[in-house]
Structure 1
Amino acid sequence: MTIDEVVLLLKASQVNGLTTLQEMILRSSWEGKTYTSIAFEAHYGGERVRKVAAHLWQLLSDFWREPINKSNFRETLSSRRLGKTHQQLIKEFNCAATAISLEFPNGLVSLNSRFYIPRPPVEELAYTEIATPGSIICIQAPQKMGKSSLILRVIAQATNQGFRTVSLDFQQGDKAVFSSLDKFLRWLCANVSRELQLEPKLNDYWDEDMGSKVSCTLYFQKYLLCAAESPVVLILNEIDWVFAYPEIAGEFLSLIRSWYEHSQMLEVWQKLRLVLVYSQEILSPLKLTKSPFNIGLLIKLPNFTKEQVEDLAQRHGLNWTDSQNTRRLMAMVGGHPYLIRLALYHLVGRGGLERNLQELLEQAATTEGIYHEYLRQYVLLLQGEPELATAFYEVITAINDVKLAPVTAYKLHSMGLINLEGDRCTPLCELYRLYFRRQLHSLENFTAPNKLGSLH
């Protein structure tokens, strides 16, 4: 058994479940931590921890009908497998818990959600890097892959370490902000100041003769970072929003690169930890020596594995271990986190198992299916992008993979419509191939507004 299974089994079998302290003692003891260490981390007195632990070992001994204590806890239980009775107990517990905590998969997954699935080693790599002075993390993935949920956890980790965090979304910038590099950098500095609860003092550091990049750098170095008593984690969301303005993008990205290089020489710059979050690779020409994307840690969020899908299914109260159900669902939607979660939500919400999964898969690529409203948004987007529509139509109707122009391929990939391996493109999953073939019967449907508008 794993420690997760031990904890779940006790929660399911005990009338009052487990307290937070009891669960912490179990997990920490499994890792070999001392009572002193556990008491310190839990902010409890040592005597209190020992008393709760003694009760736990007696509870475990009674449950398994043999002596279990802190020293033999892991050795005794790790070699055992869950019996059918215990599996059924956990399944019923998950079903009951899910009925209470079921969440519609829309937006980020909250920190206390039972439905967040870690994708090792992604989280640990990010947590380690954020603790490194002067570091840069680049997080790239198409839409609905879990970037925001990961960022939420990076922020929580940084906060727990006593760091200040600032999160900016470039989509929130007015159009006027992107009219010049100077306005853009002043907007950036003003927003970071306010997030750090500092009075904006741009005019004290801005010098037209020196230029906006030097002015911005001095503002960070002499004001923002000097005023910070702890490291500052600056998260720049949707940074590819700037890619639509090549003149600004090239200058800004080279500026970020220079800040990283400053951190190798100046201690004050080591306080800054940058996280760049984006969907597509930069499309404007930028020499590798000026790009921030080839330094630091690059994280590309992967699809869920079969084991992760089964884990998520179990958290929804479904027993899909070594099940055909997992393979059938993944054959339709791959390991796409959002598409998987939406299917599991509807299966549990409708109170069914295999019968409803078969029905869900049969309807998935139709207007009656659970994905129609989500995929319909793409139809509307493609209506306004004839060139992208033409290229996508070529991909979904091709027997083999298709080679597209790099800019077109990157755009379709960032929209989450295709897989991109090198310069070869395929539909994101079988669902997309079937849905768009059925809804867009010919290339005219992509480009003719009157026909597209008639699809419901």
Structure 2
Amino acid sequence: MTIDEVVLLLKASQATGLTTLQEIVLRSAWEGKTYTNVAVESNYPEDRVRKVAADLWQILSDFYKESINQSNFRETLENHRLGKAHQQLLREFNQAATAISLEFPSGPVSLNSRFYICRPPIEELAYAEIAQPGSVICIKAPKKMGKSSLVLRLLARAKKQNFRTVSLDFQQADKTVLANLEKFLRWFCANVSRELQLEPKLNDYWDEEMGSKVSCSIYFQNYLLSALETPLVLVLNEADWVFDSQEIAPELLSLVRSWHEQAKAVEIWQKLRLVLVYSTEIIVPIKLTQSPFNIGLPIKLPLFTKEQVQDLAQRHGLDWTDGKEADNLMAMLGGHPYLVRLALYHLVGKGGLQGNLKQLLQQAPTESGIYHEHLRQYILALQNDPDLAAAFYRVINAKNYVKLEPALAYKLQGMGLINLEGDRCTPTCELYRLYFCEYLKINESCNNNHVERLQLENQQLFVFSSLDELTQLVNRRYFQTSLQIEWQNSVSQRTPISLILCDIDYFKIYNKTYGVAAGDRCLQEIANTICNCVKCLLGNSSFSFSRKIANPPTNSSATFPKGDFRDENSEVIVARYGGEEFVILAKIDVAAAMYIAEYIREEIKALAIQCKYPSIGGLPAPVLTVSLGVASIIPAVETEPANLVNAAEKALDRAKRQGRDRVVLG
């Protein structure tokens, strides 16, 4: 048994579960720590720790019907195996807990989540290394493999040991910063100072004659590290962004190595513990003696094993003990952490796939499957890089493996699309092979035309998958993808972005009263009105209701749905969001968004679409009306597009509760 299983069994078997201190004592005793150590690390009085421990040993002895104490705790239970009764107890506990705590897999797995799967011995090795003076940890894995979740736990462990922690994301650095070593190192030092809540004093330590690297080292040694009483764990996230710079990457990496080597002779540098997090190999020239990748602890996050998939399934309340379901899931997903978690979420959620693994796997590589949004992001990325698309197409069509140009192979590996063993490239999983074989039709015998063909094919695919047939507006899927793109653009530009959600009041009753055909005509008329309102207020003489595609392929016969009014001066998306809901996304401020929403409300009411519902009273008007929720924000790195959507949805809900036929600001 593992300590996680011991803790889970006690939580399941005890009516009151386990307290935080009880769990701390159990895990600390498993690691061989004394009660004094536990008291110091957890800030509890030692006599309380001892009393809690004594009660725990009695509970464990009663549960296992043998004497268990601090000295024999791990030795005794590590040799135990989960019996059928205990397995059933855990299944029931997991099912009950899952119903309450089901989490959508997005971003790092939170510290208190029951869905984090350890990949021994990675976590323990990382925890041990971070405690070493002057240590360096290099965490490498493709996107969505769990790097951020591991870093979250590393930082939590560091804070528990009273270390100071700083986590920098190189995605936050402007392009101008990443183009110049001097600017980059000053940005780097200033941000570490800010995170440590120290006043930036760059000019006091920077010396042009000594150079930026020496100045940066002096700043760390004589100012930042000298100001700290405890070690500093410094996490450098998304290091790939630096790797792309021929000027900065070799200099930063040699600097990291020099700091690690200085820790052997200079005591103050022992305070610094560095963690580099990246997705792909560095492709700029760098000497082996300057690289940090051959020092410290290298960590490569592997795919989940079958046993780990079964464990995660059990935590979701699924009984996969016979292994067949895990085998079937892994045959499609290959143990990819994010893809596996998303599958389990849908199998126990309320999306129509409850327990239907066969249906989920059949739909997985199609547009109707649960992965369509995830796969769509790759389509957009490959569309922007035809050489990368062509290289990936070779991989997914190879019988065994192919060898690619290193730069292309590293990019595809960093995206998570391929496995790279030596110089041998294979698809990450069967899901990617099946899906992209369908959509990346490239004729290798026509190298001169493959870029144009790919653009045209993706363009046509884009049309078919993005159009709402009834209203001819773009659909919710396209809106969600566009929101992600516009959000990232607004983050870098620091411009406001606004969202308007529009819902037809009592439309379901209208549909029932006047029939589906009348309801469809109503939806079309209101869609046209919304488009006209947006065009009138945000458009210009060059606007049409056709999507504008930058640099379209020549001889293209594709046509495009209305609803995306973007050109050089304005960026607006009008989409059908749901049955009777529409959404408008625009890079405008809150005042403009409120004005547009009110104009739409008035114009739709002026259509005078008659609606008489004898069964209900208190209607806002004798004609069809709409309620609108508005939200606006200036996106930041630490926020998510979901924040904007949630605010608009809450505003729309308030508009309905306040009587409908109105605009409410979230």
Letter in 1 for 2:296: G
SS in 2 for 1:139: strand
Match runs of 1:240-255 below 5 Å: 240-255=240-255
More displaced stretch, 43-52 vs 184-193: 43-52
SS in 2 for 1:144: coil
| 1:245 positional shift | 1.6
Change beyond 3 A, Cα 1:15–1:264: closer
| 1:23 positional shift | 3.9
Residue number in structure 2 paired with 1:18 = 18
SS in 2 for 1:302: coil
Residue number in structure 1 paired with 2:160 = 160
Q: How many Å separate the matches in 2 of 1:359 and 1:36?
A: 54
Match runs of 1:383-394 below 5 Å: 383-394=383-394
Residue number in structure 1 paired with 2:462 = 453
Match runs of 1:55-454 below 5 Å: 56=56, 59=59, 66=65, 68-70=67-69, 81-350=81-350, 356-442=356-442, 446-448=454-456, 450-454=459-463
1:107-157 CA distance string (max 9 Å, x none): 001111111111111111111111111111111111001111111111111
Mapped contact 2:256–2:292 kept (Cα < 8 A): yes
More displaced stretch, 277-286 vs 221-230: 221-230
Q: How many Å separate the matches in 2 of 1:292 and 1:79?
A: 40
More displaced stretch, 435-444 vs 395-404: 435-444
Q: How many Å separate the matches in 2 of 1:201 and 1:33?
A: 42
Letter in 2 for 1:326: A
| 1:8 positional shift | 2.9
Mapped contact 1:389–1:447 kept (Cα < 8 A): no
Change beyond 3 A, Cα 1:313–1:49: same
| 1:33 positional shift | 6.2
More displaced stretch, 228-237 vs 444-453: 444-453
Letter in 1 for 2:210: M
Q: Which runs of 5+ in 2 are unaligned?
A: 444-449, 466-666
% same residue: 70
SS in 2 for 1:275: strand
Mapped contact 1:318–1:353 kept (Cα < 8 A): no
Mapped contact 2:314–2:320 kept (Cα < 8 A): yes
Q: How many Å separate the matches in 1 of 2:91 and 2:410?
A: 42
Letter in 2 for 1:102: L
Q: How many Å separate the matches in 1 of 2:75 and 2:201?
A: 60
TM-score of the pair, normalised by structure 2: 0.64
Change beyond 3 A, Cα 1:122–1:34: closer
Change beyond 3 A, Cα 1:32–1:324: same
Q: How many Å separate the matches in 2 of 1:397 and 1:194?
A: 50
Mapped contact 2:353–2:360 kept (Cα < 8 A): no
Q: How many Å separate the matches in 2 of 1:76 and 1:273?
A: 36
| 1:217 positional shift | 1.6
| 1:377 positional shift | 0.4
Q: How many Å separate the matches in 2 of 1:135 and 1:78?
A: 31
Q: How many Å separate the matches in 1 of 2:417 and 2:390?
A: 13
Mapped contact 1:382–1:446 kept (Cα < 8 A): no
Q: How many Å separate the matches in 2 of 1:251 and 1:46?
A: 49
| 1:14 positional shift | 3.2
Letter in 2 for 1:437: C
Q: How many Å separate the matches in 1 of 2:57 and 2:222?
A: 56
1:278-333 CA distance string (max 9 Å, x none): 11111111111222222111111111111111111111111222420111101110
Change beyond 3 A, Cα 1:194–1:374: same
Mapped contact 1:238–1:279 kept (Cα < 8 A): yes
Mapped contact 2:25–2:53 kept (Cα < 8 A): yes
Mapped contact 2:41–2:161 kept (Cα < 8 A): no
Q: How many Å separate the matches in 1 of 2:269 and 2:113?
A: 35
Higher RCO structure, 1 or 2 (CA under 8 Å, sep 6+): 1
1:20-69 CA distance string (max 9 Å, x none): 344445555666766666666655556555655565566556656x5645
Count, aligned residues: 455
TM-score of the pair, normalised by structure 1: 0.91
Mapped contact 2:412–2:418 kept (Cα < 8 A): yes
Change beyond 3 A, Cα 1:420–1:172: same
Q: How many Å separate the matches in 2 of 1:324 and 1:140?
A: 31
SS in 2 for 1:17: coil
- Superposed CA RMSD in Å reads 2.6
Mapped contact 1:95–1:318 kept (Cα < 8 A): yes
Residue number in structure 1 paired with 2:617 = none
Change beyond 3 A, Cα 1:434–1:204: same
1:84-128 CA distance string (max 9 Å, x none): 343222211110101111111100011111111111111111111
